[in-house]
């Protein structure tokens, strides 16, 4: 990638050396485009008219005073306005009186300080432009030579290049010691093992209505309705509720058996009642935007769309495979039950999924 070997003629000529340091070059016959140098300073009103300057001074002082008043207002609001008081302010709506008062007073007190300082700088401080010289960042060749010589001396005195044993073992030690830190990270979490392959569902587990907390019967699930279920025994107060529901959440719909296109789906259903994982196979959002006329279900996060009447196959969006179906049946007491766990991992795909 080095461009050392590249001729320099494509670089433009350094144009304006002569105009450096703000020196004025008069445009002449030879170069009408020459740098005329910094234009002469022009006075502001405030520079020549003391009354204008006084006006500016008063404006600045007014702004600082305004800031002081606003700070007092902030403290007063904090003390007097109850934290739960609501107020109607057009066009903001019904908002917290305290938040509004504090925000406005703090805003004004700070903004006024800033406005005062800037107005002061713009109108009363000198606005004569000053040119400051730049110096090249690169060191001069002499400095570079000195540094290189010093470095060579130092390197030689360390004997690092000569005593290979020291060098090798030092690099070895420095390379190895960070491993301790890496090892320490091991207990951040357990190994994956087969954790992502199992859910709470098992043969005989009843499907419990998420809303009413009652086990579901086939008659509870009407065509066109949408029901969410969890495995029996999983309660919201359980300490692992979140982790378990993140895999076990179920979406139950009823489709007329003749409208079910997928053979296995029909087999795994009960009288057209199908139970699918509520967890999207894309990145795991709880998918559940069910359109009862099309039987499509859409994920609100990334718009993966699945056809629940056709084995929940993906018909649009970034999901890579169908939603897993839970095989269900009815137990002796007439309740819907699972006939086993999901046959494939629920939720997003991963390397070991296969």
Partner 1 sequence: MSNNDDRRKAPAGERVADWADGRLGIYSLAKANMRKIFPDHWSFMLGEICLYSFIIIILTGVYLTLFFHPSMNEVEYHGSYVPLQGQLMSEAFASTLDISFDVRGGLLIRQIHHWAAIIFLAGMFVHMMRVFFTGAFRKPREINWLFGFLLFVLGMFTGFTGYSLPDDLLSGTGVRFTQGAILSVPIVGTYISMFLFGGEFPGGDFVARFYSIHILLLPGIMLGLVVGHLILVFYHKHTQFAGPGRTNKNVVGMPLLPVYMAKAGGFFFLVFGAIAALAGIASVNPIWALGPYRADQVSTGAQPDWYMGFAEGLVRAMPGWEINFWGHTLVLGVFIPLVLFGLFLGVIALYPFIESWITGDKREHHILDRPRNAPTRTAFGVAWVTGYMIMLIGGGNDIVATHFHLSINAVTWFVRIGFFAGPVLAFVITKRICLGLQRRDKDKVLHGRETGTIKRLPHGEYIEVHEPLSQEQLYTLTSHEQYAPAEIGPTVDENGVERKVKRSEKVRAKLSKAYYGEESQIAKPTVEEYKEITSGHGHH
Partner 2 sequence: MKKLSARRRHPLAALVVLLLALACTGGLYAAFAPASKAQADETAQSLAIEEGKKLYAVGCASCHGTGGQGSSDGPSLVGVGAAAVDFQVGTGRMPAATSQGAQVPRKKVVYTQAEIDQLAAYISSLGAGPNIPTEAEYGPEGADIAKGGELFRTNCAQCHNFTGKGGALTRGKFAPTIEDVDPKHIYEAMQTGPQNMPSFPDTTLSEQNKKDIIAYLNAVNGDETESPGGLELGGLGPVSEGLFGWIFGLGGLIAVAVWVAARTAKAKKS
Note the residues at the interface with partner 2 (CB under 8 A).
42-49, 86, 91-96, 99-100, 103, 118, 122-123, 127, 209-212, 216-217, 219-222, 224-228, 253, 286-294, 296, 298, 300, 303, 305, 316
Decide whether 15 or 168 has the Cβ nearer to partner 1.
15
Q: Is 190 exposed, middle or buried (0-12, 13-18, 19+ CB in 10 A)?
A: exposed
Q: Residues 164, 188, 263, 332: which binds partner 1 (CB under 8 A)? A: 188
- Does 87 help bind partner 1 (rule: CB under 8 A)? no
- Does 3 help bind partner 1 (rule: CB under 8 A)? yes
Decide whether 165 or 183 has the Cβ nearer to partner 1.
183
DSSP secondary structure string for all residues of 308-337: TTTTTEEEESS--SPPPEEPEEE-TTS-EE
- Does 120 help bind partner 1 (rule: CB under 8 A)? yes
Q: Residues 48, 125, 173, 184: which binds partner 1 (CB under 8 A)? A: 125
Q: Is 73 exposed, middle or buried (0-12, 13-18, 19+ CB in 10 A)?
A: middle
Near partner 1 in 20-49, by CB under 8 A: 20-22, 24, 27, 30-39
DSSP letter assigned to residue 269: S
Task: Give the CA angle between residues 217, 292, 230 to the nearest 5°.
Answer: 40
- Does 218 help bind partner 1 (rule: CB under 8 A)? no
How many C-alpha atoms does 221 have within 13 Å on its Cβ side? 28
Count of all residues that appear for the chain in the document: 354
Q: Residues 321, 330, 339, 340: which binds partner 1 (CB under 8 A)? A: 321
Q: Is 337 exposed, middle or buried (0-12, 13-18, 19+ CB in 10 A)?
A: buried
* Shortest separation between residue 166's beta carbon and partner 1, angstroms: 32
Indicate which of partner 1, partner 2, none lies near residue 86 (CB less than 5 to 8 Å, by partner kind).
partner 2
* Shortest separation between residue 162's beta carbon and partner 2, angstroms: 59
Decide whether 155 or 289 has the Cβ nearer to partner 2.
289
DSSP letter assigned to residue 13: P
- Does 103 help bind partner 1 (rule: CB under 8 A)? yes
* Shortest separation between residue 36's beta carbon and partner 1, angstroms: 5
The region of 50-58, 140-148, 201-209, 318-326 touching partner 1 under the rule CB under 8 A is 318-326
57/96 Cα distance (integer angstroms): 37
DSSP letter assigned to residue 12: P
104/19 Cα distance (integer angstroms): 51
Measuring CA to CA, which residue among 197, 198, 204, 200 is closest to residue 339? 204
The region of 152-160, 259-267, 276-284, 329-337 touching partner 1 under the rule CB under 8 A is 276-284
């Amino acid at each position: 990638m080095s461009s050392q070997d590249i001729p320099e003629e494509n670089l433009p000529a350094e144009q304006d050396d002569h105009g450096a340091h703000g020196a004025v070059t008069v445009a002449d016959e030879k170069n009408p485009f020459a740098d005329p140098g910094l234009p002469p300073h022009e006075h502001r009103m405030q520079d020549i008219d003391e009354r204008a300057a006084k006006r500016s001074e008063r404006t600045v002082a007014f702004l600082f005073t305004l800031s002081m008043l606003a700070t007092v207002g902030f403290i007063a609001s904090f003390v007097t306005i109850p934290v739960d008081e609501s107020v109607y302010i057009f066009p903001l709506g019904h908002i917290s009186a305290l938040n509004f008062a504090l925000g406005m007073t703090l805003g004004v007190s700070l903004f006024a300080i800033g406005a005062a300082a800037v107005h002061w700088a713009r109108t009363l401080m000198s606005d004569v432009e000053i040119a400051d010289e730049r110096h090249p960042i690169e060191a001069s060749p002499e400095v570079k030579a000195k540094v290189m010589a010093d470095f060579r001396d130092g390197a030689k005195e360390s004997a690092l290049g000569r005593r290979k044993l020291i060098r090798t073992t030092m690099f070895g030690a420095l390379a190895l010691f960070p491993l301790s830190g890496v090892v320490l990270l091991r207990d951040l979490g357990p190994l994956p093992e087969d954790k992502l392959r199992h859910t709470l569902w098992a043969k005989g587990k009843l499907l419990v209505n998420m809303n009413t907390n009652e086990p579901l019967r086939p008659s509870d699930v009407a065509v066109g309705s949408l029901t969410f279920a969890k495995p029996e025994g999983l309660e919201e107060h359980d300490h692992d509720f979140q982790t378990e529901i993140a895999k076990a959440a179920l979406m139950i719909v009823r489709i007329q058996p003749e409208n079910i296109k997928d053979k296995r789906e029909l087999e795994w259903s009960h009288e057209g009642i199908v139970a699918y994982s509520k967890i999207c196979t894309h990145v795991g959002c709880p998918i559940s935007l069910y359109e009862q006329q099309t039987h499509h279900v859409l994920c609100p996060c990334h718009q993966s769309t699945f056809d629940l009447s056709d084995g929940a196959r993906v018909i649009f969006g970034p999901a890579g495979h169908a939603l897993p179906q839970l095989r269900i049946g009815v137990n002796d007491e007439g309740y819907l039950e699972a006939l086993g766990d999901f046959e494939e991992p629920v939720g997003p795909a991963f390397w070991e999924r296969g």
